[in-house]
Copies of this chain bind each other. A is one copy, B any other.
Amino acid sequence: MSDLNQLKKEFDEVSDFLIALGDEKRQAIIITLLQANSCKGLRVIDLTDATELSRPAVSHHLKILKQVGLIELHSEGTKNYYSLSHKTTEIDKLKKLLNHVTEIMGKSVETK
């Protein structure tokens, strides 16, 4: 039973991450960032070119991706360089939840 409260909490914690990751445009941004594995990262302008989104749209999606810890930025003057975060905290959380779910799904098979 506290098993399920735990699960509810886990789901709650990855909700924003799932939503962030589910969007096609944001996936395009992520892939572009993965692709350009430059240490410096990419700027908004670079991403508007690569994804065919307007600058405000890119900015918006970057904000969402940053909020869930998927990307990070460092600024040099007025220039902002975005890159994928090296921390995989959220990804690990999600993996753990998926394992948790399949585990319970497995259990319920045997429980008649």
Contact = CB atoms under 8 A, between A and B. Distances in A.
B7 A31 contact: yes
Contact of A15 (B22, B91, B95, B102): B22
Contacts of A84: 105, 108
A81 interface: no
Nearest to A105: B84
Interface in A65-112: 84, 86, 88, 91, 94-95, 98, 101-102, 104-105, 107-109, 111-112
Interface of A: 4, 7-8, 11-12, 15, 18-19, 21-22, 24, 27, 30-31, 34-35, 37, 39, 84, 86, 88, 91, 94-95, 98, 101-102, 104-105, 107-109, 111-112
Given A8-B27, A15-B24, A37-B107, 11 more contacts: A7-B31, A7-B34, A11-B27, A18-B18, A18-B22, A22-B22, A34-B105, A37-B104, A37-B111, A84-B108, A86-B105
